Structure 1
Amino acid sequence: MKVKEVAELVGISVRTLHHYDAIGLLKPEQTTESGYRIYSEKNLETLQQILFFRKLGFPLKKIKDIINSPSFDREEALQVQRNMLLEERARLDNMIATIDKTIHHTKGAIQMSDKEKFAGFDFSHNPYEQEARERWGDKVVDESNAKIDKMSKDEQKVLGEEFDDIYQDLAAIRHKSPDSDEAQAAIKVWYDYLNKIGSYSLDAFKGLGQMYVDDERFTKNIDKYGEGLTVFMRDAMAVYADRNKK
């Protein structure tokens, strides 16, 4: 199959396939003299694996390491991916049930306890932990996890609610200039929050903001609070870091 045919079959862009080829993640079986990429059945199987891992939040570098490992077993990988997706489905089903109950509660049809209102929320799991380790080393991540582990369930819940409040406050002012006093005061709250659970230098804080924009997973999740929030946070975090290093 040619690259355009594969793109149409899978539902991804030709540009994405070109990128996978360029970084050595998915090399087509052959390239014709006229430059056309030709993909084999084996290529399609590998692409399926890549997209399963991407759906589960794995960065491309990690996927490349996994599928190029001599010990990689496709059947075993599929089973692991299936288990991870089942866990994700269970979590989502739990949250959907909480939403349904909340709708009935809002209409007065049922009463919900405070505990039931937060069923399905789990702030103890960080899907980006491995990437954080790769970017900033084990120490900052281990320190962060140690602080969270020492907290009670109630304290962890409060931490999660504080996270949500900070993002909503930032979203409300995302149309202002990132270097405005209001924006800088709000982003300082985010910096202080991160250092409550970890140890982020100003450089790491600035780098984190850039990663929000570079990594589509972060962009997608952050922009749920308001379109353009990711870029606003990146710029505000950079200004904060640069100003406070002086």
Structure 2
Amino acid sequence: MKQLERVVSSIPEGADITYVCDGVYSTDGELADLPAICACLRPRGAKILVDDSHGCGVLGRNPDSEQPLGYGGGGVVKYFGLDYAENNIIYAGQLSKAFNSPGGFVGCARETDEKFGILNLAKNSNTLVFTGPICTAGLSSAKTTLDLNAAEGDLQRKRLLEATLGFCEGLKALECPHTYHGFPIVNIYWTPVQVCAEVYRELMSARQGAFQRGVITTPMWYPI
């Protein structure tokens, strides 16, 4: 945050500032410190673009001891209880993570759109203009998962967290070095390369058995 504060202080007053960040950093599961980011940028009227592809559908409003990930699955902005309009937040992401569907989204508060023309810019971007439409099956998949989120999302998020914590306990029992930041992404560290290769084979072999028990595992390998 100190680096961000230094950069912001070096920008002339009245300049147009746009800050871009992930809501959840995909490789380690650490959440962006959005409250601090907003507090730093709000006085300058900056736009804050949050890519919450991993947080949407997993994080939600009013986290507590019963539901540490929050309720509703509305994403990292809701998780921190921030106001979209007050902080000029532009919220974007994909449906390919928690919702297992093609497509993405971008949105903001009406006041932010009226001030900056965000949605008009998005509708006329080359990315959208030159992209083919989502197939009907993809739209149906997205609608179904959104309906499931509304009906039973909090229960599934609770199960997800329990499975993640159980996984971390197993890693501790194996004395396997790992990091966990409260979000269901776990980093595991192995050396040498031969051990990594053996673990890779074991995990890939275990995926089918885990799937049959209702657990989908999606390991991500070096150098990603």
TM-score under structure 2 length normalisation: 0.32
For CA contacts below 8 A with separation 6 or more, give which structure has more relative contact order. Answer: 2
Give the strand-richer structure, 1 or 2.
2
